[in-house]
Amino acid sequence: MDTTETSPIACTIGALDVDEQARRRDLAARMHAATQQMRELSDGYAFRYPVDLCPAVAEFMMLERRCCPFFRFVLELEPDGGPLWLHLTGQPGVKAFIQSELGLGEGSEGSEGSEGRVAKPVETRDNGAMSAQRVIPPSHTLAPWAEIVPGVGPTAVDALLTMPDDGWRYEVVEGALVRVAGSGLWATTIGRRLAGRLGDFVEDHDLGAVSGADGVYKFSGAETGLLPDVGFIDAPHRALVPDINKPVPFAPDLAAEVASPSQDAAHMATKVRIYLSGGTRLVWVVWPERQVVDVWRPADLRPDPDAMRPSTTLDAGDMLDGEDVVPGFHTPLARLLRYP
């Protein structure tokens, strides 16, 4: 049954289990890297890929249509060895949705403004190892704690090491460059306190390494790099880092995020899910205004971020404990969370 005319324009990521979501991310990363051109249509967009990518595109389409039933997918193979096109269209509102996700406007970047005409490739700055003339297919649940940087093609995690100092903090999620505004005095003070106390303890006991808010961790699979406010890797993992001047090539063992007033529990649960899925063993999400810390462990992982809940929530009268991830570390939250 054709559901594109009646389905609400809303994603149900829980329609895919954990393995299917991981497979979808891997396929999306391949498509991101292989996109050759974009064509604007009256009710959506078409993306051109090499012919040999056809099986991967078809598999991605079958997964995506389960969580996004409002999309209409059409695969087109041009004759005489021509390229493969994926047409992504749907009911009124779908095209605007795609434009929002890609940072496009009607007849703007990547478009010549008329139906079916071949668009000019999106012109963006070079982002590491990926092409500057490729676009990112929409991924509306990608990084709700941040915003996708408009007009930027697929981005390599290594490019985060050379981002401009312009007041934004940048991350890469499934090849998409995203950003959040810089934090205020309270949040940055909490991050500094935690990094200092945890860092001193880890160094004194030779337990591994601690990074601050600029530390980049590259996750396996899809091109994803996150920058926790505080990150920790244990000594065995520290020994596996091949180049200390590049992103850590795996997820941190512990990640701490200090939430901003613009971020809510659902936003941060999505980010926590990336950490836990990537192998992080303990996540602390600090809420300065509420004076609490959510503690997340791998057992809290669920296919749908909306169904996830932290193992426990600590208040200012509790101790923050490193558990078996940073054995022996504990610090009173009253001192950590107090206003500067």
User: What's the chain's average pLDDT?
Assistant: 83
Same domain? For 128 and 190 the reply is no
The overall pTM is greater than 0.75: no
With cut-offs at 50, 70 and 90, classify the pLDDT of residue 114: very low
**What pLDDT is recorded for position 102?**
59
Domain count, the chain: 2
Is 46 among the domain residues? Answer: yes
CATH number at residue 261: 3.90.1570.10
Q: Could you say which of 74, 104, 137 is where a domain stops?
A: 137
Is 57 among the domain residues? Answer: yes
Domain residue limits at 80: 13-137
Is 161 among the domain residues? Answer: no
- Looking at the DSSP bridge assignments, the partners of residue 46 are 39, 87
Other Cβ atoms less than 10 A from the Cβ of 164: the count is 7
Sign, CA torsion 273/93/95/77? positive
Is 263 among the domain residues? Answer: yes
- Ranked by mean pLDDT, the top range of 39-48, 117-126, 239-248 is 239-248
**What pLDDT is recorded for position 66?**
87
Residue range 42-80, pLDDT digits in tens: 888 888 888 888 998 999 999 888 888 889 999 998 887
Higher pLDDT pick, 40 / 310: 310
